[in-house]
Amino acid sequence: MITLIPDDVKKRFGPLFAQKFLVLVDERAGVAEIHEQCRVRGTIEWDAMNRRRAGGAVVRCEIEGSSMTIHAKLGKFPVNFGSAAGDIGGQALEGVEVAGDEVITSWAGIAGAGIGVAACLPQAPGVIRTEYPSDEDLKVGGARTNHVRIVSPRYEKICIGIDDTDTKTDGATWVMALKCAEACRMEGVEFLNMRLVQLNPAVPHKTTNCVSTSLNFAVKPARIPVLLESVRAFVEKNTFSRETGIACYHGIRDFSDAPVAKWIKTEILSMDEAEREAETLGIEYLDRTGGKGRIGALGAVVWGNRGTEAAGLYGEHL
């Protein structure tokens, strides 16, 4: 076993193109998210197609610009390629394993894809070290097959929904939410993305658009309480409304099968209904006001990881 830190990898192979590598895990659900960013979109598209084809731990891949999110299973799994079947797939995620405060992802690649997993990804910001099973795995390119284990910090996912921070004359929730994300830059916390979630425009008590906001973070477990308190304090200090709601989900979950995902965009929910649905889904409220913004905050969490359709009316797609 040969172990190299990112600087060692860079010295050996020269600077390459990976710009981000984060692994989020949810042991309760048995799943993980791997967030990667490359300098260009083309390599991300090729990697995503090959990893999906090869199977292994990969469930699905999503691409936004030159970034990719891999939705994966925890554990180790067989893949559909090897030196004898290179035409089936050039790159594979073989497994995702949790080891205390670290996560180990196991990779295999053939030829140019081997350079990707053995020389490029191990240089990415976010990698602690990379383990190469043998000297042969340090020889990249040509028709070779490479295997590596990339070790990175353990992160968990926090989705926060915010609503009703403005009035008819002051403020905008999405602006305040983004300022909140900026204010919450701290060690052990990585801001992932923000989404505007279109709710039911027929709701009578609203400002204008009836839109809530979600913020997604990757957080080291010990820093989760600090992040949540920082968000609550910032929102309560800067809101213009007495009805502000802040909801939170700790974990990796797709809420598309939850009935409330449709209701929040098509029906008029009561506070009791929203709080009951939140409890059913394991979504908690951080705010101390208990205002009607809790309804929209629930919607922001439920739709906070659904892509562009979150911004549309129910059933709308690009």
Q: What's the CATH code of the domain at 208? A: 3.30.70.2200
Residue with the larger pLDDT of the pair 247 and 80: 247
Residues 132 and 202 in one domain: no
Residue 317 belongs to some domain of the structure: no
When pLDDT is averaged across residues 173-195 and rounded to a whole number, the result is 95
Residue 240 belongs to some domain of the structure: yes
CA–CA gap between residue 281 and residue 299 (Å, rounded): 12
Domain range for residue 302?
156-311
Q: Is the pLDDT of residue 278 over 90?
A: yes
Count of CB atoms situated within 10 Å of the CB of 227: 19
Q: Is the pLDDT of residue 31 over 80?
A: yes
Q: Is the pLDDT of residue 184 over 50?
A: yes
CA Rg, the chain, in Å? 21
| Under 8 Å between Cβ of 197 and 303 | yes
Residues 173 and 61 in one domain: no
* Residue 87 confidence class, pLDDT cut points 50, 70, 90: low
Residues 232 and 195 in one domain: yes
HSE-up of 54 (CA within 13 Å, CB side)?
Answer: 30
Residues 25 and 132 in one domain: yes
Count of CB atoms situated within 10 Å of the CB of 241: 19
Residue 147 belongs to some domain of the structure: yes
Q: How many domains does the chain have?
A: 2
DSSP secondary structure string, 153-176?
E-BEEEEEEEE----SSS--HHHH
Residues 225 and 135 in one domain: no
Residue 11 belongs to some domain of the structure: yes
CA–CA gap between residue 71 and residue 35 (Å, rounded): 9
Whole-number average pLDDT of the chain: 92
